[in-house]
Chains A and B, each alone.
Chain A
Amino acid sequence: MPRRVAVTGMGIVTSHGIGKTVNWQKTLAGESSIRPITLFDTAGYRTTRAGQLAELPLAPWRRMRGARLDRASHLLFHATAEALDESGVTAAAWNASRSAVALGTTLGGMASGERYHRAYVRTGPARTRPSQVVDHLAHAQPLHLMEEFSLRGVPLVFSNACASGANAVGHGFGLVRAGQAELALCGGYDPLCEFAFAGFHALQALTTELCRPFDRRRSGLAIGEGAGVFLLEAWDRAKARGARILGEVLGYGESNDAFHMTRPDPDGKSAALAVRRALQDAGAAPESVGYVNAHGTGTPFNDVSETASLLAALGPRAREIPVSSSKSMIGHLLGGAGAVEGILTAMALQTGWLPPNVNYETPDPQCDLRIVRAAARADGLRVALSNSFGFGGANAVLVFRAVGADS
């Protein structure tokens, strides 16, 4: 019999700020944290704004020289510290248990790689700092993190583009549910860096206006940065130690479009397969879904494909289910998106409030979903989905349930 999986800790960093409190307040207020970029020179770009965290204090690393670490490591540190602190799980308890770390990122500490390569090109190979190459690798940040928090083991690092964070959470969930781990620290992260910004700019995927997921006038995405970390725990163990259970991960589904490297399959059939698999995994009927936190990038292609996938998987009732995308406020966090949006979904279930999809003004007949324009009460909300899709055709869907909703 599969075990139930409890969420006992969550940590979040986005352009809204550090921590759940500020993120939830600003999310429900519908505040936009898309602002002018200061991390690199934006001259020549068609847009100069992104979901950049206004101030990122260096995390208080004790075992490593924090000032030398990439921004990615600091984002991950803050989110992890909050999740571990909330869960009350100590390093000693972690190391005495079967435990796993699974984290997702698209480009890891790419800003460090950029610094190394810029010096390589401009001043010659002899003037470069090799630690920047080590630090830019996508697995460096999880390794630093585990060393800092004295967590034993080898991290599993997913790099499935924008689905990475959701894949990592789904993997951690699978391990705990199957009894292969008692505790799983899982999530995703990506800092803002010029490499990714320039890449999406070259693909002409960035909006020069407001990010408006599902709106007829949507014109692209806004890049963001951040990290989201869950502490998942076997339900019975969490109950036995008196932990505060914040929510339940109920299911996970994944699939691949096998269609195109950067474009989603327009008919959304593989994404629908991921939704169906997630619900089947959760043992939940489509009728039980009361909210969908959409991938909702605000690109013309994604939002149509995602609408098609929800209609295919949930039937005509998909048009009645409240749907919103938080990318309209904080941007697209790439590898961090799935985990951060999973946390916002869990918080919606915890509080009974639905996050808004800001900047939505003009309905699109091709995206005929019930978009949440402003934060709304959702009494009786029990089950919610969080969708994540990415380059390379990656589709990942998480199912969350409110505490007490099983009775």
Chain B
Amino acid sequence: MTDAVVITGIGIVGPGAFGRAAIVGSFPELAGVEEPSRVPEFALEEYLEGGRAFRRVSGATKFALAAMGLAVGDAGFSPQTFGGPDTGIIVGLTHGGAPYSVRFHRELVLEGCLAASPLHFSESVPNAPAGNAAIAFQARGPVHTLIGEEPVGTQAVEMAAALLRRGRVRRCLVAGTEEWSEVVTHAYTQIDRARRTGPGSVRVPPLSEGAAALVLELASTAAERPGTAHATLGGWRLDRCLGGGLEEAMASAVRDAFAGTEHSPADADHILPPSGRFRPEAVRACAAARGAAAAPATWLDLGRGVGNPVGAANLLQMATSAALISAGKVNGPGLVLSTGITGTLSAVVLCRASGADA
């Protein structure tokens, strides 16, 4: 029997919500803020011991480090005890630290190459959050940055699970992070305007920013420490739908994600719809997969409260579901749906960890 992958640490940094307790405390409305796009100013050292050493990093890196610091602490580790050669880090993002890229390029365009700051370059590369996190937590195992649309969080979790099951790592930090950018937001607005009549163009939440992090371990490893398993990764499915048929593809993904669990889609007691595009299609697909006889489920729409932090959105959804399951606010299984602008999609099932009732 395959050893289950469990979530033993949760960290959330979003507009209006810092940490697991903030999410649990705001249930069932979840975090709702007046200005959903931005994370309020904060000092990194409040969430990460030694955080002052990273004071010049981009917002995307700062959010990631804070969320990771919270997750590592939540799992019962300190930054000094978490790392080592068997510790991995997987970060998923879409635009990452875009404002630093913009600053570097603006310096280049307006002032010339000699004025371009090396820091703005090195901190704008996509793997800056992961690289800095490796330093902060002394993670010397596999450290990866994955780029993709919103479902990139599922890819990060899938990779971490594979590393754990192949014995390549003993524990793995998985994070999604995104920093709001005026230029990126402008481009997305243009795209939405161009697609006003197409599918996925309606009711798109505003782009936002933030980070979410999970500590993943095998259930057996967590039990040895011992660590508390907040939730179990039940199953997941990634796909891409080209052209029409997104509803059918998503319904199929939902069924596949449940296939490896002891539950069916009808058992889901809470569902997190995509925070980006194709939300109505995903909702209809979910209803189709669950069937007419399914018991009512609680819909937790993060997009309404915190907007769409793109590459961080999917992990923010998973972190929310796991936190609520762990706190007993919901029983699970929870279903997390994600869609990207070009038809990438994912479904993730989170379950109550075995023994969590004890």
Hey, which bits of chain A sit against chain B, CB under 8 A?
44-45, 105-108, 113-114, 116-118, 120-122, 125, 128, 130, 133-134, 137-139, 143, 146-147, 152-154, 156-161, 167, 171, 174, 178, 180, 194-195, 198-204, 254-262, 270, 273, 390-394
Q: A153–B237 Cα gap in the complex (Å)?
A: 11
Please indicate the chain A residues that have their CB under 8 angstroms from the CB of B164 in the complex.
none
In the complex with contacts A258-B139, A261-B122, A392-B130 CB distance below 8 A: yes
Over the window 137-171 of chain B, the binary record of Cβ atoms lying under 8 Å from chain A Cβ atoms (1 yes, 0 no) is 11111111111110110010001001000100000
In the complex with contacts A130-B190, A134-B191, A138-B147, A199-B104 CB distance below 8 A: yes
B198 at the interface (CB under 8 A from A): no
Please indicate the chain A residues that have their CB under 8 angstroms from the CB of B296 in the complex.
none
Do B344 and A392 touch across chains, with their CB atoms under 8 A apart?
no
Please indicate the chain B residues that have their CB under 8 angstroms from the CB of A118 in the complex.
105, 109
Do A133 and B187 touch across chains, with their CB atoms under 8 A apart?
yes
- Closest residue of B by beta carbon distance from A122: B109
Please indicate the chain A residues that have their CB under 8 angstroms from the CB of B95 in the complex.
137
Do B143 and A392 touch across chains, with their CB atoms under 8 A apart?
yes
Do B108 and A198 touch across chains, with their CB atoms under 8 A apart?
yes
- Closest residue of A by beta carbon distance from B190: A130
Candidates A121, A152, A256; contact of B139 at CB < 8 Å: A256
Candidates B140, B155, B342; contact of A255 at CB < 8 Å: B140
Hey, which bits of chain B sit against chain A, CB under 8 A?
83, 85, 89, 94-95, 101-102, 104-106, 108-110, 112-114, 116-118, 121-128, 130-132, 134-135, 137-149, 151-152, 155, 159, 162, 166, 183-184, 186-188, 190-191, 194, 238-240, 242, 341-342, 344
Closest-CB distance, A178 to chain B (whole angstroms): 7
Please indicate the chain A residues that have their CB under 8 angstroms from the CB of B194 in the complex.
130
Candidates A143, A270, A394; contact of B342 at CB < 8 Å: A143
Q: A138–B144 Cα gap in the complex (Å)?
A: 14
Please indicate the chain B residues that have their CB under 8 angstroms from the CB of A158 in the complex.
144-147
Do A259 and B147 touch across chains, with their CB atoms under 8 A apart?
no
- Closest residue of B by beta carbon distance from A204: B118
Please indicate the chain A residues that have their CB under 8 angstroms from the CB of B146 in the complex.
156-159
Candidates A125, A157, A201; contact of B113 at CB < 8 Å: A201
In the complex with contacts A134-B191, A195-B108, A199-B122, A160-B143 CB distance below 8 A: yes
In the complex with contacts A106-B125, A147-B242, A202-B118, A258-B135 CB distance below 8 A: yes
- Closest residue of B by beta carbon distance from A334: B125
Candidates A122, A157, A174, A270; contact of B166 at CB < 8 Å: A174
Candidates A45, A137, A194, A255; contact of B141 at CB < 8 Å: A255
Do A157 and B109 touch across chains, with their CB atoms under 8 A apart?
no
Do A154 and B155 touch across chains, with their CB atoms under 8 A apart?
yes
In the complex with contacts A154-B240, A158-B146, A121-B114 CB distance below 8 A: no
In the complex with contacts A160-B143, A203-B122, A130-B191 CB distance below 8 A: yes
Please indicate the chain A residues that have their CB under 8 angstroms from the CB of B121 in the complex.
198-200, 202-203
Please indicate the chain B residues that have their CB under 8 angstroms from the CB of A117 in the complex.
102, 105-106, 109, 183
Closest-CB distance, B53 to chain A (whole angstroms): 12
Q: A113–B134 Cα gap in the complex (Å)?
A: 28
In the complex with contacts A154-B240, A261-B135, A167-B147 CB distance below 8 A: no
In the complex with contacts A106-B125, A154-B240, A202-B121, A260-B135 CB distance below 8 A: yes
Q: A222–B267 Cα gap in the complex (Å)?
A: 58
In the complex with contacts A117-B105, A156-B155, A160-B145, A392-B342 CB distance below 8 A: no
Closest-CB distance, A375 to chain B (whole angstroms): 34
Do B104 and A195 touch across chains, with their CB atoms under 8 A apart?
yes
Q: A194–B107 Cα gap in the complex (Å)?
A: 13
Known: A121-B106, A256-B143, A259-B135. 10 other contacts (CB 8 A): A117-B183, A128-B187, A157-B148, A159-B126, A178-B166, A195-B101, A202-B117, A203-B118, A203-B122, A255-B85
Closest-CB distance, A230 to chain B (whole angstroms): 19
Do B135 and A153 touch across chains, with their CB atoms under 8 A apart?
no
Of B94, B137, B147, the most chain A CB neighbours within 10 A belong to B147
Candidates A143, A194, A262; contact of B108 at CB < 8 Å: A194
Please indicate the chain A residues that have their CB under 8 angstroms from the CB of B104 in the complex.
195, 198-199
The list of the 3 closest CB pairs from A to B, nearest first, reads A392-B131, A199-B121, A133-B187
- Closest residue of A by beta carbon distance from B158: A156
Do B126 and A273 touch across chains, with their CB atoms under 8 A apart?
no
In the complex with contacts A202-B117, A391-B127, A44-B143 CB distance below 8 A: no
Please indicate the chain B residues that have their CB under 8 angstroms from the CB of A139 in the complex.
94, 147-149, 152
Do A393 and B131 touch across chains, with their CB atoms under 8 A apart?
yes
Closest-CB distance, B16 to chain A (whole angstroms): 27
Do A393 and B147 touch across chains, with their CB atoms under 8 A apart?
no
- Closest residue of B by beta carbon distance from A110: B101
Q: A154–B242 Cα gap in the complex (Å)?
A: 11
Chosen A-B contacts, 5 in total, with CB atoms closer than 8 Å, are: A44-B114, A133-B188, A154-B238, A202-B113, A254-B141
Q: A180–B109 Cα gap in the complex (Å)?
A: 46
- Closest residue of B by beta carbon distance from A103: B147
Please indicate the chain B residues that have their CB under 8 angstroms from the CB of A194 in the complex.
108
- Closest residue of A by beta carbon distance from B192: A130
Please indicate the chain B residues that have their CB under 8 angstroms from the CB of A125 in the complex.
186
Do A107 and B125 touch across chains, with their CB atoms under 8 A apart?
yes
